């Protein structure tokens, strides 16, 4: 099946700094990618829908100025957590579906720890 990668898999940063997470579709083009956040022992919460070549669509309650999303190409979306704080520590997961396909594939996730 199709592969979605994320980088880095783990990152530790200091409070107040920014961190960028990449999501790549390795063998297909994705006009749409999704960013989820997963708290310990909880479900995935959709943060935003990343659209290639246009602005992301954020879910209610998600700060778009804090979680910057850029979908610059058909195979890459980035999530930048700006001015990170300890409460931003979480597991961030992206997903993407090939254009015209039924399937949606998930990346392995990025664990962010803000100290």
Binding residues vs other proteins (CB under 8 A): 30-32, 34, 41-44, 46, 49, 93, 95-109
- DSSP-derived letter for residue 10 is E
| Beta strands in 15-64, from DSSP E residues, in sequence order | 19-25, 32-38, 44-51, 57-58
| CB 26 to other proteins: min, Å | 14
| CB 68 to other proteins: min, Å | 19
| CB 102 to other proteins: min, Å | 6
- State which residue, 11 or 82, has the beta carbon closest to other proteins: 11
- State which residue, 82 or 89, has the beta carbon closest to other proteins: 89
**What residues contact residue 38 under an 8 Å CB cut-off, 6+ apart?**
44, 45, 90, 91, 92, 93, 109
């Amino acid at each position: 099946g199709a592969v979605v990668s994320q980088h880095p898999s783990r990152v530790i940063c200091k409070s107040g700094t920014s961190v960028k997470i990449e999501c790549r579709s390795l063998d297909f083009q994705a006009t749409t990618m999704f960013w989820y956040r997963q708290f310990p022992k909880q479900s995935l919460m959709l943060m935003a829908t990343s659209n290639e070549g246009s602005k992301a669509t954020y879910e209610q309650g998600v700060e778009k100025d804090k979680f910057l999303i850029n979908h610059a190409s058909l195979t890459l979306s980035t999530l930048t957590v700006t001015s990170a704080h300890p409460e931003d520590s979480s597991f961030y997961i992206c997903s993407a579906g090939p254009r015209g396909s039924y399937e949606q594939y998930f990346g392995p996730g990025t664990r962010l720890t803000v100290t």
